[in-house]
Amino acid sequence: AQSVTQLGSHVSVSEGALVLLRCNYSSSVPPYLFWYVQYPNQGLQLLLKYTSAATLVKGINGFEAEFKKSETSFHLTKPSAHMSDAAEYFCAVSVIYGNNRLAFGKGNQVVVIP
C-alpha cells in the first residue's frame, strides 16, 4: 500500500535559515506526491504537487520540492525561513488512481526562532 514517512515531528529553524522537511514514500506504482501546509486553527492548503511533469516542483511562498525516484524521496525546502512559515506541514501520496485518495504522513510542526 502507498504510504509516506515524515521523520521528526517538531522541527526548529532560525529565521533566515534553510528549511528542510524530509518525506520518503512507498508506492508500487508511479506516485503523485503533495505537500500541504496547515496554519494554526485552519484547514490544510496545497503548497505544491508532483505529477511527473518535472522533478523539481516550485510551490507557493518560496517552497520547492525535488522528486528523487532512486531515493524514493520528495523533500521540501525553502532557502530562508520567515516567521510566517511557522505551521504544520504534511506530505501525502496518492493511494488509488481515479478517486484522488491520499495517504498523509504524520506531519512536521515547524517552529521559527527569531
Partner 1 sequence: NAGVTQTPKFRVLKTGQSMTLLCAQDMNHEYMYWYRQDPGMGLRLIHYSVGEGTTAKGEVPDGYNVSRLKKQNFLLGLESAAPSQTSVYFCASSSTGVYNEQFFGPGTRLTVL
Would you give the end-to-end CA distance of the chain in angstroms?
Answer: 41
Piece of the chain touching partner 1 by CB under 8 A; list 14-22, 62-70, 71-79, 100-108: 100-108
Element (DSSP H or E) covering residue 4: strand 3-5
CB closer to partner 1 out of 49 and 75: 49
- Give the span between the Cα atoms of 65 and 57, in whole angstroms: 5
Name the minimum Å distance from CB 38 to partner 1.
Answer: 8
| Residue 61: strand, helix, or coil | helix
**Closest distance between partner 1 and the C-beta of residue 62, in Å?**
19
* 3-state SS assignment for residue 19: strand
**Residue 13 CB, nearest approach to partner 1 (Å):** 20
Residue with cell 524530509: 22
Is 55 a residue that touches partner 1 (CB under 8 A)?
Answer: no
Tell me the residue type at 21: L
Q: Which CB atom, from 19 or from 48, has the smaller least distance to partner 1? A: 48
Residues that bind partner 1 (CB under 8 A): 9, 32, 34, 36, 41-46, 49, 51, 90, 94, 97-102, 104-107
